[in-house]
Structure 1
Amino acid sequence: MSWGVGHLLALLIGFCLDLLLGDPHWAPHPVRAMGALIAALERLLRRLFPKSHAGELVGGVVLVLLTLFIPTGLTVALLWACRQVSPWLALAAESLLSYQLLATKSLADESRKVYDALKTGDLDQARYAVSMIVGRDTASLDEAGVARAAVETVAENASDGVIAPLIFLAIGGAPLGMFYKAANTMDSMVGYKNDQYLYFGRAAAKWDDILNFIPARIAGALMCLGAVATGYDGKNAWRIFRRDRKNHKSPNSAHTEAACAGALQLRLAGPNYYFGKRVEKPYIGDDQRPIEPLDILRAGRILYATAFFALLIFCGVPLLVLLFP
């Protein structure tokens, strides 16, 4: 079994495991290990480097280098050791790693909890459920605000939680997938423009922007296809994707959100509160109809269709070419 066939098979198996099992909270998870590593490195580097803007910038660069090198190097070493025993053991290990780097089912499941709470009329529980998957303040959100937050997080995380890791896994197997996930996890922990991380987290944020630049745009286009496949407004998804995909401070965050807003004929984003402070953001999409809890499930269907298109293009087609040249 060639290396290319092996890592594409591992991606296919991992994708299927993700759809079947979702995120096993009871089991050790590489992303949680990355989070612990990043937190430990941050504490160490803040002690080692001067408490100045320049010192924090340099410390942030060192954090990026160590966070990328350690998980990627450990993954390469693990797969090499498994191959020395058996190629099938290596395939099993890489399949499990690929599975843990994808989040299709867990993203849909976590948003489904918000829908279930809204369906039963339990707004407090819905606010709690959505607070687990978004960064904004949720205590004062009404039903429409909760539903909108859930739809937005499904749409936005379709890129960096599903499509981008799938692309990196397809290109370079579990080591490159781990490299991407380390960068993405680091950005989610330190890539903030606040007093604490403006300088220390700058390198992490910039590197994450670079890695996601192409995948985010691919994900937005694939979500337009996903809208067509699931019977939603694909033409409007493409229109809003092209018009509003840059309506965000991040160069990558609005692409899938714009496509989803167009597909569901909704207006998303806009001003929100973070840590008690109102943050002005542009709207994404047109206010063609009021949002409703069922839109959470609709966004989940589009997510699944988008993921299947990505799997077909980046895994299925190359695998067929390698197996049947």
Structure 2
Amino acid sequence: MKIGFMIIIAFILDLIFKDPKHIPHPVVMIGKIIKYGEISLRKIFRKGAVSETIAGTILTLFVIIISFIIPYIILSICYSINMILGISVEIFMCFQLLALGSLKEAAMKIYTELSTGSLNGARKNLTHIVGRDTENLDEKSVIKASVESVAENTSDGVIAPLFYMLIGGASFGMLYKAVNTLDSMIGYKNKKYQYFGKAAARLDDILNIIPARITGFLYVAAALLSGFNYKKSYAILIRDRWNHSSPNSGYPEAAMAGALGLQLGGPASYSGEIVDKKYIGDDDKEPNMEDIPKACMLMTIVSVLALILMILAKFAVLTIINYGL
């Protein structure tokens, strides 16, 4: 259970230090590889469904292989030198792969701006956690978008990295993060990336199948533990989990919508183009700025529950394997 101990330490470090700006982040480096890889491959492959799909698949495979091999080699060298050195470096890598602290910080900055009456400031901070256009959003829309992002990113930024790190350590966690970064950069269903980002988008969907569902049902449990409407959370999860373009994101968003009594989703503007998204949840009450810290609290509870349950599950599996129980 060495990896479980390391991830617990990494989890605590993430809550304390969040995302230190002065330390180079692996996602930034992965993003640069994707950016320059895309530029290079688009020069080699001409436009067209088949050629763009091939180019995007090559980029996807290259990025995930590099993202797995480099940390694997670094950790192998560190462990061969000294066990403590290896553990320390792996804890640091795991810490960088978790985003609970930074997600909470980003969402609470939006809340702080709203609480001081600065809607423009809230809109500006919202751009850090959503991909939609924010300049014309009213206060209610800013709140809804913030809650949606907290719910969706609980899976992508916390639960999924925990899941894959517990399976295969920091190297597996980095592999997942590479796929997730690829999806966030080229996995769009627009004219530019419809074919080029197809492989990245599909792989991201596959890797998030289990984590997203874990996240959704843990939101119901978190609602129960924190006094929110867990019955409504479960009901909306079951009813609206498919009301999202992603096969996975609807699970945490629906559970969050039910717990807070909000209606999320609906039409949104992306790069000046209105996307007609389905609604998730019932319009039980008007969005209130206090929904943002409530969402952050639920996210934290979900993350702690996931950490505990995943470590216990791994311990149980290892016990069965080792003792044949």
Does residue 190 in structure 1 map to residue 194 in structure 2? no
What residue in structure 2 maps to residue 16 of structure 1? 12
| Separation in structure 1 between the aligned mates of residue 274 and residue 313 of structure 2, nearest angstrom | 46
- Which of residues 137, 141, 147 is equivalent to 2:143? 147
Change in 2 beyond 3 A, CA 1:90/1:278? same
For residues 156-195 of structure 1, what are the structure 2 equivalents within 5 Å?
A: 156-195=152-191
What residue in structure 2 maps to residue 32 of structure 1? 28
1:321 shift after superposition = 8.1
| Separation in structure 1 between the aligned mates of residue 261 and residue 43 of structure 2, nearest angstrom | 50
Deviation >4 Å, runs of 4+: 319-325
Q: Determine helix, strand or coil for the equivalent of 2:274.
A: strand
Two-structure CA RMSD over aligned residues (Å): 1.6
For residues 219-234 of structure 1, what are the structure 2 equivalents within 5 Å?
A: 219-234=215-230
Q: Which runs of 5+ in 2 are unaligned?
A: none
Does residue 75 in structure 1 map to residue 81 in structure 2? no
Q: TM-score, normalised by structure 1?
A: 0.96
What residue in structure 2 maps to residue 275 of structure 1? 271
| Separation in structure 2 between the aligned mates of residue 16 and residue 205 of structure 1, nearest angstrom | 31
Deviation sequence 1:206-241 (CA, Å, 0-9, x none): 111111112111110111111112221111111111
Q: Which amino acid aligns with 1:219?
A: T
For residues 1-325 of structure 1, what are the structure 2 equivalents within 5 Å?
A: 5-316=1-312, 318-319=314-315
1:320 shift after superposition = 8.3
| Separation in structure 1 between the aligned mates of residue 241 and residue 29 of structure 2, nearest angstrom | 33
| Separation in structure 1 between the aligned mates of residue 86 and residue 109 of structure 2, nearest angstrom | 36
Contact 1:18 1:102 in 2 (8 A): yes
Change in 2 beyond 3 A, CA 1:232/1:137? same
Contact 1:11 1:315 in 2 (8 A): no
Deviation sequence 1:125-145 (CA, Å, 0-9, x none): 111111221111111111111
Q: Determine helix, strand or coil for the equivalent of 1:177.
A: helix
Contact 1:8 1:173 in 2 (8 A): no
Q: TM-score, normalised by structure 2?
A: 0.96
Identify which range, 50-59 or 288-297, moves more after superposition: 50-59
Q: Which amino acid aligns with 2:51?
A: G
1:319 shift after superposition = 4.8
1:244 shift after superposition = 0.5
| Separation in structure 2 between the aligned mates of residue 312 and residue 188 of structure 1, nearest angstrom | 28
Deviation sequence 1:138-182 (CA, Å, 0-9, x none): 111111111111111001111111111111111111111111000
Deviation sequence 1:106-127 (CA, Å, 0-9, x none): 1011000000000001111111
Q: Which amino acid aligns with 2:118?
A: D
1:316 shift after superposition = 4.7
Deviation sequence 1:171-206 (CA, Å, 0-9, x none): 111111111000000000000111211111111111
Contact 1:107 1:154 in 2 (8 A): yes
Identify which range, 43-52 or 144-153, moves more after superposition: 43-52
Contact 1:166 1:311 in 2 (8 A): yes
Q: Determine helix, strand or coil for the equivalent of 1:273.
A: strand
Q: Which amino acid aligns with 1:160?
A: D
Q: Determine helix, strand or coil for the equivalent of 1:307.
A: helix
Q: Which runs of 5+ in 1 are unaligned?
A: none
| Separation in structure 1 between the aligned mates of residue 80 and residue 170 of structure 2, nearest angstrom | 17
